[in-house]
Each structure stands twice: as C-alpha cells, then as structure tokens.
Chain A
C-alpha cells in the first residue's frame, strides 16, 4: 500500500514540496472547472455540464444540450404528415404514444377534425397515452433511485415497464417505436383479451408500486438525498416555463388534461397531485401519485370504451379499405395519392398541445396546403426543464446534481429534437 505522500501525489498530481505538506496549500482554494458528461454514468441522456466548482460546491454551470440533435424539424418539413409519426416516436422514446397523439392532434386541428374522431379511437388513444405515462414515470423514478444507490426499485420498476411494453407491443407491433396513432384515429384495433391482460398488469404494477414505496419512502438515505434538494418556488416554476410533474411539485396546479381538456379526459375522473416544497422529494411523490391516477384512468377507460370504428370516415385522412384498393382503380389511385402525396392539410397554422409524461408537449405546424408541413416545431418540455437545471444545481454539491437531474427527467431525444 502506498504511503500517504505517494497517495497524495497520485491524487493531486503535483510534486512541489509545499503541496505535499498538510497545510492549507494542500487543496488549492481557487475554483476548478469540471466537465460532467456528455457521456456520464449518472446522467440519463447525453448532455454536457461544464461546472465551475469551489471544492465540491457548484458555483457556476453551463448546461449544453444538443448531442442528440437529429433534425426532427428539418426532416419533418420534408416528410408527409403520416411519415412524421415515426420521427415523433423518437422524441420522447420512453412514452412514444403520447407524442404520436400530439402529432395527430395538430394535423386534426388544422383539418378541423378535432371532435369528430370516433369515440373508440379516442378511448384507445387515452389508454395507450396513460400506459405511456406509466412507463415514463416508472423509468424516471426507477432510474433516479438506482443512481442514488437503490438498485432494487430500478429492477422492480423496469419489470413493470416491460409488462407494459409487452402489452403495447401486442397493440402496435413494436416494443418502443410504435407509430400506432394515425391522423383521424389509430392504426388498428386493440388485440383480443387486451382488457384482461391490462387489468392483470395494472394489479401487478400497483403491488410493485407499494413494494417500491416501502423501500424508498422511509429510507433515510433516499430522503436525505432528495428532500430540500433542487427546490424551486412556484413563481420561478411558472416564469421558467416549467410544466408537468416538476411544476406541480412546486404547487402549480396546471395539467393540460384538466385545464384544456382534450380527447375523452372530461369523461374520466382523476385528481391532479400538487406538491408544496418543489424539491426532488416532491417531484418523486407527485410522479408516484400520478401513476396511481393513471392506473385509475386506465381502469375507467376499460369499463367505458365503446365499440365502433377506430378511424374517422373521412376520405381526406382514411385509406380506402384494402378490399377496394385491390379491386377498383379509383380506390387504388386514392391509396397511391394518399401514400405518395400525403394527407392534404389546408393552409394555416395551429398549435396543438397535450399532457405528455413531462408536461405540456406541443406541436406548432404551419401548413401550406400540400401533404407536407411547411414548418413543424416541437415544444418539448424536457428542453424547457433542462434550461432550469443550471439554476437548480447552483450552490449544491456535485453529488446533488444526480438526483436533481434524475427528477428533471430530461429525455435526450425530446430535448435535443
């Protein structure tokens, strides 16, 4: 084993004699610049933080997103409205169904179809959205707990997430990149026995949630690392544009599902949990309660979902039935034009928004009457939340960046577009 002096030399990398003494020269008093990321084991997503630290305290930080920029907006301007759905899957890749719904909603708003989507399609959208919200929160809470050293909850929650992914795979055919929703409805109907499978999964998930809460809520290490860390006031949360669980943890009772009701959310009953302190612990608790509310919404939807068509009967957006496509020339041409030229969206502009896993997720589209958007913009909650990270980690220890970042739940794909 190395003696104390060699050890010091190894750690500090300096050889000057005065630096090896046990005096105040040992640790220099000046500030130090540390790079955290873009690839760091304790940060989800690729984001780089250039920290200026005073000892272990952060005195200045520069958060730099953009390492996952894949030109969502530029690519969308060159794709038909239907072709954009796969791109939206890759925005928030933990809850792709909600992004799908958001994109469908903006096209429907521009075409004046909002409100005429068949009831069954709307219910299916709500069901898959709430399942996606569950997977989003499960990942966020599980991963954050793991980063604080609690590996058990991570495995428990990822197990639940996998059950839900399996169900979504049965629905859409893909585990993660679903591309399930269409303009005017959804791609296909729910599979057989879906309701029984989902109810069983929800029962199991509710049990696992109790287990995880038992492990975390009373855990002194977990509470010490979360409580009082990264707190934000209500006014700051509003002014910095925070939405979703982060804003609600600060006491902002804003939920798009309640404040600007869309789809069939007015027909289901649920509560919007609101925190008081706005710190990481409140964000965690708000997310847990939202998961419970999502489970309740799902149970109600399964009871209330009617039979009927899953796509609006409007030749502008619906493909002709396959039987006609193969047998009549008119339907074949219509099918071809629909696929090649895309859905014709009348000229205009609209901003449609919904409650995503992280809050208000919106799409702003300028249409020029062709089958491709002239401009597509995604209002990604992660990007807005990440912009507050610099302020939140200020004057905290480097170790506190991990829970703050985990609870901001920055999703690289959505933040960097």
Chain B
C-alpha cells in the first residue's frame, strides 16, 4: 500500500536511502545513519506523507543470524553491521505504514534520537538502550527503563545468556540511583 511512500522517498532523498524493500506487506526503507533526522523530519512534515503517529522503536541484533532456506550470503558475518534499529511510523491521514531501518555497527552503537520529533520515542528509545545498548544522540534523558541502574550488560543482545542471573547490589555513587531521595524537607533526617 505504501509503495508510493518508498517511491517518493527515493526521488526526494536518493542520497540518504540505502535501499528499500517490502516484506509481507510491510514497507521498509534503509536510511543512512547521518541522514536519519532530515529524512524523518521530511516524513513527518511533508503534506503528502504526514507520518504523525509513531508506532514503535526497537533493535535487531544479527549476531546469531544464520537463516535457513535462504542463500548463505544472507548470513551475518563480522564485516556487516551487527545491529539494526527499526522505527515504525504510521500516517493517520493516509494510513501509510513505514519502517525505517538504520544499520549500526557494534564498534559505534549510536543513532540520532527521534524523540524530539515524536515524543513517544522518548521511552521506546530508552527501552532500546536498556535492552540493546544503542546510544541515541540527542535524547533528553537516556537511562535504563526496565532494568535497574546497577544492571551490567544488555539483556536482549544475543551474547547475553538467557539463564544469566545478576544480584542487585545497590550503589549510591550512581547519578540516577532510584533509592536516593532528595531531602528537600529541612526537618527530615
């Protein structure tokens, strides 16, 4: 349905688009990392697009990607970027749906934040950071959301063992320690 969107993207932002694809009726556009914010701004504001509603933001870790039934060239190797950050958008006027994907290498897991454009991505980017360790540049408040601040590692990465357990050891030196309460009350001990 949104093939029109992919065509428009290719004609307006040819330099920023790596490639486009459609899978099971979902339209996907691969955007270069440094071009994400201009492309996203255009998608949100262009009168023929109007992607005003954010749907979700997540990440795919390709470390164990050994798909069956497809050519071996599809497999993940160390020279390919390990992470893919996916943003799903919806246009409430035209009912388009689009998934933006950004390839992110393990050595530099950074993506520009879209929280300023769509406030819903504020928490979802925090979740992605919490689970996959992707840093969102320009995010107003990037800290863990499900896990506690003392948690070490990123649990949804493929190299984090499923059975691994971590005891919660409180550390008062962390800046955002949730146990710490401002003693604004002068009489409080």
Which residue numbers of A lie inside 8 Å of B, CB to CB?
12-14, 16, 19, 28, 30-33, 35, 48, 50, 52, 64-66, 69, 71, 73-75, 77-78, 109-110, 112, 238-241, 252, 254, 259-260, 346-351, 353, 360, 362, 364, 366, 368-370, 374-375, 377, 379, 383-384, 386-387, 416-417
Cross-chain contact B92 with A254 (CB below 8 angstroms)? yes
Cross-chain contact B184 with A32 (CB below 8 angstroms)? yes
Cross-chain contact B68 with A66 (CB below 8 angstroms)? no
Cross-chain contact B65 with A35 (CB below 8 angstroms)? no
Cross-chain contact B68 with A239 (CB below 8 angstroms)? no
Residues of A within 8 A of B64 (CB): 374
Residues of B within 8 A of A32 (CB): 184-185
Cross-chain contact B67 with A241 (CB below 8 angstroms)? no
Cross-chain contact B55 with A30 (CB below 8 angstroms)? no
B150 sits at the interface (CB 8 A): no
Residues of A within 8 A of B187 (CB): 12-14, 16, 19, 28
CA–CA, A64 to B123, complex, Å?
10
B108 sits at the interface (CB 8 A): no
CA–CA, A177 to B147, complex, Å?
26
A-B contact pairs, 27 of them (CB 8 A): A12-B187, A14-B187, A28-B186, A33-B184, A65-B145, A66-B147, A71-B155, A73-B131, A109-B24, A112-B24, A238-B92, A239-B52, A241-B53, A348-B23, A349-B24, A349-B60, A351-B55, A353-B55, A360-B55, A364-B56, A364-B86, A368-B66, A368-B67, A369-B67, A374-B64, A383-B124, A417-B146
Residues of B within 8 A of A28 (CB): 185-187
Q: Is the interface of A mostly helix, strand, loop or mixed?
A: mixed
Cross-chain contact A347 with B184 (CB below 8 angstroms)? no
Q: What is the size category of the interface that chain B forms with chain A? A: 35 or more
B58 sits at the interface (CB 8 A): yes
Of B10-18, B31-39, B114-122, the segment with at least 4 beta carbons within 8 Å of chain A is B114-122
Residues of B within 8 A of A240 (CB): 119-120
CA–CA, A364 to B56, complex, Å?
9
B80 sits at the interface (CB 8 A): no
Residues of A within 8 A of B56 (CB): 362, 364, 377, 379
Instruction: Known contacts A71-B155, A377-B58; decide if A351 and B123 are in contact (CB<8 Å).
Output: no
Cross-chain contact B119 with A364 (CB below 8 angstroms)? no
> How far, in Å, is A1 (CB) from chain B's closest CB?
24
B19 sits at the interface (CB 8 A): no
From A75, which residue of chain B is reached at the shortest CB distance?
A: B162
B window 39-90: CB within 8 A of A: 52-56, 58, 60-61, 64-70, 74, 86, 88
Instruction: Known contacts A241-B120, A384-B123; decide if A30 and B186 are in contact (CB<8 Å).
Output: yes
B156 sits at the interface (CB 8 A): yes
Residues of B within 8 A of A350 (CB): 23-26
B105 sits at the interface (CB 8 A): no
Cross-chain contact B120 with A387 (CB below 8 angstroms)? yes
The 8 A-B pairs with the shortest beta carbon distances in the complex, nearest first, are A241-B120, A369-B68, A66-B146, A387-B123, A347-B67, A14-B187, A368-B67, A350-B24
B181 sits at the interface (CB 8 A): yes
CA–CA, A360 to B92, complex, Å?
13
From A352, which residue of chain B is reached at the shortest CB distance?
A: B24
Cross-chain contact B119 with A33 (CB below 8 angstroms)? no
Residues of A within 8 A of B4 (CB): none
Instruction: Known contacts A65-B146, A375-B60; decide if A260 and B95 are in contact (CB<8 Å).
Output: yes
Cross-chain contact B69 with A383 (CB below 8 angstroms)? no
Cross-chain contact A347 with B69 (CB below 8 angstroms)? yes
Residues of B within 8 A of A109 (CB): 24-25
Residues of B within 8 A of A387 (CB): 119-120, 122-123
Residues of B within 8 A of A74 (CB): 155-156, 162
CA–CA, A66 to B149, complex, Å?
12
Cross-chain contact B145 with A66 (CB below 8 angstroms)? yes
Residues of A within 8 A of B112 (CB): none
B window 83-110: CB within 8 A of A: 86, 88, 92, 95, 97, 99
Instruction: Known contacts A238-B52, A241-B54; decide if A369 and B145 are in contact (CB<8 Å).
Output: no
Contact with A along B171-186 (1 / 0, CB 8 A): 0000000100111111
From B155, which residue of chain A is reached at the shortest CB distance?
A: A74
Picked from A75, A254, A368, A383, the residue with its CB within 8 Å of the CB of B68 is: A368
From B161, which residue of chain A is reached at the shortest CB distance?
A: A74
User: For A32, A75, A259, which residue has the most chain B Cβ atoms within 10 angstroms?
Assistant: A32
12 more contacts with CB within 8 A, not counting A110-B24, A238-B52, are A12-B187, A73-B131, A239-B54, A241-B53, A260-B95, A347-B67, A348-B23, A349-B26, A350-B23, A369-B69, A377-B58, A379-B55
From B130, which residue of chain A is reached at the shortest CB distance?
A: A66
Residues of B within 8 A of A78 (CB): 162
CA–CA, A88 to B167, complex, Å?
27
Cross-chain contact B99 with A351 (CB below 8 angstroms)? yes
Cross-chain contact A33 with B181 (CB below 8 angstroms)? yes
Cross-chain contact A35 with B181 (CB below 8 angstroms)? yes
> How far, in Å, is B52 (CB) from chain A's closest CB?
5
Instruction: Known contacts A239-B118, A239-B119, A360-B55; decide if A347 and B70 are in contact (CB<8 Å).
Output: yes
> How far, in Å, is B131 (CB) from chain A's closest CB?
8
Residues of A within 8 A of B131 (CB): 73
CA–CA, A14 to B188, complex, Å?
8
Residues of B within 8 A of A13 (CB): 187-188
CA–CA, A28 to B186, complex, Å?
8
Residues of A within 8 A of B118 (CB): 239, 241
From B56, which residue of chain A is reached at the shortest CB distance?
A: A379
User: For A14, A71, A241, A375, which residue has the most chain B Cβ atoms within 10 angstroms?
Assistant: A241
